[in-house]
Amino acid sequence: MSKVFMFDALREATDEEMSKDSSVFILGEDVGHYGGSYKVTKDLHAKYGDLRVLDTPIAENSFMGMAIGAAMTGLRPIVEGMNMSFLLLAFNQISNNAGMLRYTSGGNFKIPIVIRGPGGVGRQLGAEHSQRLEAYFQAIPGLKIVACSTPYNAKGLLKSAIRDDNPVILFEHVLLYNLQDELPQKEYFIPLDKAELVREGKDVTIVTYSRMRHHVMQAVDNLLLEGYDPEVLDLISLKPIDIESIGLSLAKTHRLVIVEECMKTGGIAAEIIAQVNDKYFDELDSPIVRLSSQDIPTPYNGTLEKATVIHPHQIIQSVKNLLST
């Protein structure tokens, strides 16, 4: 086992897949000589050359379209968004091309493309750099969406995504790149459609993903000291949602709290609530609790920014309130 940062785990995954398959290449703004805005591609251009680690102009719609065309011809592009918010400029290419071309071509084209990069609420990055786009893309047919939360699952998910023949969006949180974890020396992969059971418990199911996993676990540490026994699921897969794992957990706990950094209106939690009500309503002993970000542009002011997202004390109080009813 070796302890590595998340950005190094992502770099290792990219390096391993590029070394094994010459059709894998990466493109984006500053991914080459600069090594990526968060150093995920550091030194890869020196190893693989400027055509396999391709610096692009600031033109997201253009290089996304180019990457999709490359995927149609048999290559396996990895597109890094310097900030995932910028990929709104390529929304048409991602939705109408990446998501739909395999279907609209009658299966004549595969689109093995990975779209990855930093997102989420950072530390005073301002509204346009603090967006959570998972709900924007979740409704697009043909896409797979995953969100990493640890260096371990970041590496395994990226390797699986690169080898998948469908378009995959991998959301990385801007505040998790310096998170450290022990990784096995042996090669491993993580499924793109399964949630992770982080902790078993019997009192309440807490479903979360990305950075909020760590807020949840801080809350759980306190709840355990007070005699509560929560079960924690890290979604990992945001499309498709592993609703079966949530259902299995509800069969034990019969109570559900969803913690997300996504916006409340139309967010990931909203979709989970809809699916749980459709399939597992009879398992619920209490109304579902949804803890989501405020429906406002993220303020630049640090104090106001902090107030827009969920924190451990809110999770603790919500669980206590739920279990007291």
pLDDT tens digits along 72-115 = 999 999 999 999 999 999 999 999 999 999 999 999 999 999 99
- Are 214 and 238 members of one domain? yes
Residue 188 lies in a domain: no
- Are 133 and 202 members of one domain? no
User: What's the pLDDT at 62?
Assistant: 96
- Are 118 and 18 members of one domain? yes
User: What's the pLDDT at 95?
Assistant: 95
- Are 206 and 312 members of one domain? yes
* pLDDT tens digits, one per residue of 205-250: 999 999 999 999 999 999 999 999 999 999 999 999 999 999 999 9
Q: In angstroms, rounded to a whole number, what is the distance separating the alpha carbons of residues 60 and 48?
A: 23
Determine how many CB atoms are found less than 10 A away from the CB of residue 166: 17
Strands 196-199 and 24-28: unpaired
| Stretch 137-142: mean pLDDT | 94
Bridge-partner residues for 169, per DSSP? 115, 145
- Are 97 and 204 members of one domain? no
Nearest to 209 by CA among 288, 150, 133, 278: 150
DSSP H helices, 29-187, are 44-48, 60-72, 91-92, 101-104, 134-138, 151-163
- Of the chain, the percentage scoring pLDDT greater than 90 comes to 96
Nearest to 289 by CA among 230, 225, 242: 230
Question: Quick check: is 60 catalytic?
Answer: yes
Q: In angstroms, rounded to a whole number, what is the distance separating the alpha carbons of residues 210 and 240?
A: 16
61 in helix, strand or coil? helix
Mean pLDDT across the chain, nearest whole number?
96
Apex 256 CA angle, 236 and 258, nearest 5: 45
* pLDDT tens digits, one per residue of 295-320: 999 999 999 999 999 999 999 999 99
Domain count across the chain: 2
Spatial CB neighbours of 93, under 8 Å, sequence gap ≥ 6: 61, 64, 65, 68
Q: What is the CATH number of the domain that holds 205?
A: 3.40.50.920
Q: What is the CATH number of the domain that holds 103?
A: 3.40.50.970
Q: How far apart are the first and last CA of the chain?
A: 45
Catalytic-labelled residue, pool 129, 172, 173, 215: 129
pLDDT reading at 1 higher than 80: no
Spatial CB neighbours of 223, under 8 Å, sequence gap ≥ 6: 230, 316, 319, 320
pLDDT reading at 41 higher than 90: yes
Q: In angstroms, rounded to a whole number, what is the distance separating the alpha carbons of residues 247 and 251?
A: 6
pTM over 0.75: yes
User: What's the pLDDT at 325?
Assistant: 78
Domain coverage including residue 90: 2-183
Q: In angstroms, rounded to a whole number, what is the distance separating the alpha carbons of residues 300 and 123?
A: 8
Structure token digits, residue 151: 């260096």
The phi and psi torsions of 226 (rounded to 5 degrees) equal -100, 10
Residue 223 lies in a domain: yes
* pLDDT tens digits, one per residue of 270-295: 999 999 999 999 999 999 999 999 99
Residue type, 224: L
Per-residue confidence at 2, pLDDT binned at 50, 70, 90? confident
Catalytic-labelled residue, pool 12, 60, 271, 305: 60
Length of the chain in terms of residues written: 325
Q: In angstroms, rounded to a whole number, what is the distance separating the alpha carbons of residues 290 and 239?
A: 19
- Are 95 and 149 members of one domain? yes
pLDDT reading at 160 higher than 80: yes
What distances in angstroms separate CA 25 from CA 32, 119, 146, one per listed residue? 11, 22, 20
How many alpha carbons lie under 13 Å from residue 69 in its C-beta half-sphere? 6
Question: Quick check: is 311 catalytic?
Answer: no
- Are 280 and 215 members of one domain? yes
Last residue of a domain, one of 159, 183, 207: 183
**Radius of gyration for the chain, computed over Cα atoms and rounded to the nearest angstrom:** 20
- Are 161 and 78 members of one domain? yes
Strands 256-263 and 204-208: parallel
- Are 167 and 217 members of one domain? no
- Are 33 and 143 members of one domain? yes
The phi and psi torsions of 299 (rounded to 5 degrees) equal -70, 150
Q: In angstroms, rounded to a whole number, what is the distance separating the alpha carbons of residues 64 and 115?
A: 9
Determine how many CB atoms are found less than 10 A away from the CB of residue 322: 18
Structure token digits, residue 225: 């000291």
User: What's the pLDDT at 177?
Assistant: 96
